[in-house]
């Protein structure tokens, strides 16, 4: 299932959402060489978040392979700036495209609920919460963590609290068969969250690279909790489809859509 749009209007121009997408794309092009080596591996080593290095649970000189001929070598210093820079690094084309698409679909309405400055702070806090969740899950890891998906998970957590019954249009691909359906946001985002929980428990004790499931979980829960503090009721009330009890929706049932 892949979201293609939602039935949720927005009223403010989402300048911060645009800026976050722009910064991620700029980092991908300028710092990561659009996924080419050695720029990609070097950026992951220098700007990715490595729990074992941040907490000094791994000795200096520890090596971890991140590319065909590239190794990250831990310096023994706690590079706290990677808590922020790792949110703008990615591991491949599908990684950045998927993350930016999800942010594009859900970010504008969450920004619309709190205003620009609040949304910028909210996004960073969700990203930090995601990073700490991943660190707690494996504090001795030497694997660099990169990606905006933890912070975007926070945006999705806020969205499902604000607009649980708004319909999200999904592209469904089953082999050679493709169709689109409209389902409530609480179903689509709840399904995504359950997959992260399953993946998170399945990754316990695993070594090597992979998906940072606990970052997704931590970001989602942080966003669902923080939205109560960050939302501006006057802005939220302008939305015709906010809240769990709203009955109006441009898509009234689960159905195929054009």
- More confident of the two residues 130 and 70: 130
pLDDT one-digit tens code per residue, 62-78? 777 666 667 777 777 77
Structure tokens at 60: 């200096």
pLDDT one-digit tens code per residue, 7-58? 888 899 999 999 999 999 999 999 999 999 889 988 998 899 988 888 888 8
Q: Is residue 145 part of a domain?
A: yes
Do 107 and 8 touch, CB atoms closer than 8 A?
Answer: no
Q: Is residue 71 part of a domain?
A: no
Q: Is residue 62 part of a domain?
A: no
258 pLDDT exceeds 60?
no
Q: Is residue 162 part of a domain?
A: yes
Q: Is residue 68 part of a domain?
A: no
**How far is residue 81's CA from residue 89's CA, in Å, rounded to a whole number?**
13
In this predicted structure, what is the pLDDT of residue 131?
Answer: 95
Q: Is residue 32 part of a domain?
A: no
**How far is residue 141's CA from residue 174's CA, in Å, rounded to a whole number?**
36
Helix segments in the chain, DSSP class H: 15-26, 39-47, 51-54, 82-85, 93-112, 116-137, 149-162, 185-202, 213-230, 233-236
Q: Are strands 177-184 and 167-174 parallel, antiparallel or unpaired?
A: antiparallel
Question: 73 - beta bridge partners?
Answer: 63
Number of structural domains (the chain) is 1
Dihedral, 30, 32, 37, 42 alpha carbons, nearest 10: 110
Q: Is residue 69 part of a domain?
A: no
Q: Is residue 231 part of a domain?
A: yes
Print the domain residue range for 196: 2-26+79-256
């Amino acid at each position: 299932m892949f979201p293609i749009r939602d039935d949720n209007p927005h009223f403010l121009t989402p300048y911060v959402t645009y800026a976050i997408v722009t910064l991620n794309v700029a980092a991908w092009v300028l710092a990561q060489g659009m996924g080419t080596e050695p720029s990609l591996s070097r950026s992951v080593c220098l700007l990715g978040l490595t729990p074992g290095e941040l907490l000094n649970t791994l000795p200096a000189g520890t090596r971890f392979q991140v590319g065909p001929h590239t190794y990250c070598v831990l310096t023994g210093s706690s590079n706290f700036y990677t808590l922020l820079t790792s949110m703008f690094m990615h591991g491949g084309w599908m990684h950045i495209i998927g993350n930016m698409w999800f942010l594009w679909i859900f970010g504008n309405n969450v920004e619309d609920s709190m205003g620009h400055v609040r949304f910028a702070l909210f996004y960073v806090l969700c990203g930090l919460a995601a990073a700490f969740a991943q660190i707690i899950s494996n504090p001795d890891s030497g694997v660099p963590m990169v990606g905006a998906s933890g912070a975007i998970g926070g945006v999705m957590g806020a969205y499902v609290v604000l607009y649980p019954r708004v319909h999200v249009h999904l592209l469904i691909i089953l082999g050679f068969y493709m169709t689109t359906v409209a389902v409530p946001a609480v179903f689509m985002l709840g399904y995504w969250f359950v997959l992260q929980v399953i993946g998170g428990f399945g990754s316990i004790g695993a070594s090597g690279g992979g998906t940072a499931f606990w970052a997704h979980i931590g970001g989602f829960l942080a966003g669902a909790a923080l939205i109560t503090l960050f939302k501006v009721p006057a802005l939220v009330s302008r939305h015709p489809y906010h809240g769990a009890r709203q009955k109006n929706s441009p898509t009234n049932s689960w159905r195929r859509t054009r």
